[in-house]
A and B are shown apart, each in its own frame.
Chain A
Amino acid sequence: DTEVTQTPKHLVMGMTNKKSLKCEQHMGHRAMYWYKQKAKKPPELMFVYSYEKLSINESVPSRFSPECPNSSLLNLHLHALQPEDSALYLCASSLRLAGSYEQYFGPGTRLTVT
């Protein structure tokens, strides 16, 4: 099973809403990632978790709050977002953070902030 799942597939939220994105993998991977991708651009790294601990925060605004409750699950909590936060949010996982292990990506959540 080389699958990373993400829910929901699409999300429309207002600027005052609170919502969460969910990512799950059952491959035994211990590194998990959140990326943001704008249209026609490459993915930009947001956060990295290694063994359920936050390893990298790419200076992401606090209106994005990641959480890794266990080794299979990664959440991204959203609050008071701006229209410019509309994008495709991709979750990925790899066996470990260190070493050149390929990252497996989920299908993404297309977020629209109105």
Chain B
Amino acid sequence: AQKITQTQPGMFVQEKEAVTLDCTYDTSDPSYGLFWYKQPSSGEMIFLIYQGSYDQQNATEGRYSLNFQKARKSANLVISASQLGDSAMYFCAMRGIIQGAQKLVFGQGTRLTINP
């Protein structure tokens, strides 16, 4: 079965510091995709970054980077130079074949709070 684990329910970080949000996954499928989404209190899920299981390089998108360690089955999100607007819920998700269909499976999320 496919599973995503986020072990940090909440994190508090000072503004301008870098922050790492942990994500580990479990799958027997050789082909899968890993996503990170940000959900502010308004409710919208905002796509941040994607990593494919066959990608050789770690994904980067502006201040976001994904630390992909395939052997350890981890896909941590790194946010550099954090800003107050980064305060939100962050979900790690994996796309794979579940019961014969392509689905997105989410972790439980990490609530990130940036302090001024």
Whether A and B are associated in the same complex: the answer reads yes
Residues of chain A touching chain B, judged by Cβ–Cβ distance below 8 Å, are: 40-43, 45, 48, 55-56, 88, 90, 92, 97-100, 102-108, 110
CB neighbours (8 Å) of A108 from chain B are 43-44
Which of B33, B43, B103: most chain A Cβ within 10 A? B43
| Chain A nearest CB, measured from B103 CB (Å) | 6
Contact with A along B75-116 (1 / 0, CB 8 A): 000000000000000010001000001111011110000000
* Count, A-B residue pairs, CB within 8 A: 49
Tell whether, in the assembled complex, residue A90 and residue B33 are in contact, meaning their CB atoms are under 8 Å apart. Answer: no
User: What's the nearest-Cβ distance from chain A to residue B59, in Å?
Assistant: 11
A88 and B109 contact, CB distance less than 8 A: no
Give A19 to B19 CA distance when docked, in angstroms.
Answer: 43
Interchain CB contact under 8 A, A107 and B43:
yes
User: For the complex, what is the distance from the CA of A49 to the CA of B65, rounded to whole Å?
Assistant: 31
- The answer to whether A42 and B109 touch across the interface, beta carbons within 8 angstroms, is yes
Q: Does A90 contact B95, Cβ atoms closer than 8 Å?
A: no
28 A-B pairs in the complex with CB atoms less than 8 angstroms apart:
A40-B109, A41-B109, A42-B106, A43-B45, A43-B91, A48-B101, A48-B103, A55-B101, A56-B101, A56-B103, A90-B43, A92-B45, A98-B102, A100-B32, A100-B33, A100-B50, A102-B35, A102-B50, A103-B35, A103-B47, A103-B104, A104-B47, A105-B37, A105-B44, A106-B44, A107-B42, A108-B44, A110-B43
Contact present for A45 and B104 (CB under 8 Å): yes
Main secondary structure of the interface of B (DSSP, over half): strand
Majority DSSP secondary structure for residues of A touching B: loop
Please give me the residue from chain A that is nearest to B9 by CB atom.
A40
Give the residues in chain A near B18, CB-CB below 8 Å: none
Q: Flag whether B46 is at the interface (Cβ < 8 A).
A: yes
Establish whether residues A97 and B91, one from each chain, have CB atoms under 8 Å apart when the complex forms. Answer: no
Nearest neighbor of B96 in chain A, beta-carbon distance: A100
Asked whether A90 lies within 8 Å of B35 as measured between CB atoms, the reply is no
